[in-house]
Chain A
Amino acid sequence: MSGTHANTVPLRMCELCHARKPVLRRPKTLQKLCKPCFYHVFETEIHNTIMEAKLFHRGERVAIGASGGKDSTVLAHVMKTLNERYDYGVEFVLLSIDEGITGYRDDSLETVKRNKEQYSMDLEIVSYSELYGWSMDQIVAQIGNKNNCTYCGVFRRQALDRGSVKLGISHILTGHNADDMAETILMNLLRGDVARLDRCTEIVTDSSDSPVKRSKPFKYTYEKEIVLYAHYKKLDYFSTECTYSPEAFRGTARTLIKNLEAVRPSSIIDIIKSGESFVLLKNQKKYPTPAERQETATTMATASTCQNLAQGAPSAFDPNVTRANRCHTCGYLSMNKICKACILLEGLNAGRAKLELDGGVEPTGQAALTKKLEQLSF
């Protein structure tokens, strides 16, 4: 049996060029494509998404949220390619967040530093330690391994905003792909979070508590294709799971999406199409217009860190912006009196003070956790 060509799959040619051997089957269309045709459709679809959403304007400076992982690495590569091919006239800058997770972010930031050279883009790194006085390792050492994703999520959101403002940029691209979006739609549906369900399918998200808009050029791009693109193009990316365990509910939604995709590959795009078609009847909220956002972005520009703001707050305020829209502690845009990050920080700092008073264990270094199985859970 061995050595014979017993594999009965008939050799077919690429369904687009009919000339080369196909290397993959696209999950979205089930088309069998060769490498060059795959690159072409992959990049062209993203270009079409960008054009339809009028994502950029000539002369715009746009930040790419870069983690060193596959999605953001492919994003940087494709944005550079398309910007040159179609002459968008956009200047891209890499913006990375250093959460302070030993063995994970420190290594992935090395990848981003190489990407900076490979793609000739400027790179700005903003760290949790510098902004908040706490690294994720220290936070986990203090609060344990349970709600750490909440802290990380709230802090990252603000850190990206502050990084952008520092760069004078009001538009960030993120590498969220179709699988991520389908997962988020499902999670919002399952939680009954109707307001988020309404917003989460938008390619550009604005919110009244952020001076920076975020866009997802990969919202229709399958994770499978991103991984294959990165693999075939031999892109330099970092692939290790965060050492701290992911949020259980998200993990479950992810598994569900992947299982659905295995049975019916179009499920992912179908969930997104369904999500886009939902119409919210009640409780519609009004979001700021781009002009309003621009104004608040300018006033944010003087703000550098949470602590600095708390000390020298008045200079950071534009008299035209009411104090009601800002966090009373740090001056960050907020719907509430105190922004989420400051609420979390208050709790952390109270805990640290208590530890110091009690002469307890120093919350230094990373939590004694190994990135093993449970952290790698899907």
Chain B
Amino acid sequence: MKINIEFSGGLETVFQNIRKYSIDLEAPSDGSPLNIKYLLTYMVDVLMDADSKANGGVGLFLLDGLIRPGVLILINDTDWELEGEEEYLLQEGDIILFASTLHGG
């Protein structure tokens, strides 16, 4: 399934400094749902660069396996809080935006 991932607010620095990804996501082999929760794990496993992982990059993105408070997620430009958050089942062509709100203004 084709999924688009975008970053804003600086999070791309722990994902190889790439702001937009277009990925082909396979359903998990253990039969668990292809949802945002799964996507978060996938992103850490596959998209986060080794250097960032070695330097606490995961902690900037996740907290106890869930998205770190202060990182906003928009699913097709809608606040993920209206879409079921981690349980949202990914759909073909979805655009998932991760926006860090933690930078100076």
Interface residues of A (CB under 8 A from B): 1-3, 6-9, 21-25, 32, 67, 69-74, 175, 177, 179, 223-224, 226-228, 231-232, 237, 239-242, 254-255, 258-259, 261-262, 371-374, 376-378
Contact = CB atoms under 8 A, between A and B. Distances in A.
Given A373-B55, A373-B60, A378 B102 contact: yes
Given A67-B105, A177-B105, A377-B60, A25 B82 contact: yes
B92 A69 contact: no
Given A2-B34, A3-B92, A32-B82, A378 B105 contact: no
A70 B51 CA distance: 28
B interface secondary structure, majority: loop
B33 to A, nearest CB: 7
B99 to A, nearest CB: 6
A67 B99 CA distance: 19
18 contacts: A1-B89, A6-B89, A22-B78, A25-B82, A69-B104, A72-B105, A226-B105, A227-B9, A231-B8, A239-B100, A239-B103, A240-B103, A254-B70, A259-B63, A372-B51, A373-B57, A376-B14, A377-B60
A292 B49 CA distance: 57
Contacts of A2: 1, 27, 34, 90-92
Interface of B: 1, 8-10, 13-14, 27, 33-34, 51-52, 55-57, 60, 63, 68-70, 72, 74, 77-79, 81-84, 88-92, 97, 99-105
Contacts of B9: 70, 227, 239
Contacts of A240: 10, 103
B82 A23 contact: yes
A376 B10 contact: yes
B82 A372 contact: no
A321 B15 CA distance: 56
Contact of B55 (A175, A227, A374): A374
Nearest to A175: B105
Contacts of A73: 105
A23 B77 contact: yes
A23 B83 contact: no
